[in-house]
């Protein structure tokens, strides 16, 4: 049933010309070089160290690997990190 709902939401997003990340509750990631990362639509921090950030998402998780990672700002659905970012993985 969820699959049908997601398809309907995707169809509505296309018809109404809405961003799919808003309609489907997908994460939006903005990477500036390899030193800043802004992630929207997360569901909480699972793990954080100066080399790894793992965030829970509606579907899956995202992992950010790097050096000297620092959370500059964190809000209920947004997180802003800085450091030297080596790798970003989306895990279902």
Domains and CATH numbers, the chain: 25-91 (2.60.40.2000)
Q: What pLDDT score was predicted for residue 58?
A: 85
Q: What is the DSSP string of 64-85?
A: EEEEEEEEEEE-SSEEEEEEEE
| % residues pLDDT > 90 (the chain) | 63
Residues 6+ apart with CB under 8 A from 39: 27, 28, 29, 30, 55, 62, 78, 79, 80, 81
Instruction: Give the confidence band of 77 by pLDDT, cuts at 50, 70, 90.
Output: confident
């Amino acid at each position: 049933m969820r699959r049908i709902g997601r398809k309907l939401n995707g169809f509505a997003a296309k018809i109404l010309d809405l961003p799919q990340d808003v309609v489907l509750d997908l994460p939006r990631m903005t990477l500036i070089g390899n030193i800043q990362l802004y992630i929207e639509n997360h569901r909480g921090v699972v793990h954080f160290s100066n080399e790894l950030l793992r965030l829970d998402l509606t579907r899956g998780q995202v992992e950010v690997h790097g050096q000297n990672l620092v959370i500059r700002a964190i809000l209920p659905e947004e997180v802003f990190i800085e450091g030297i970012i080596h790798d970003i993985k989306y895990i279902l």
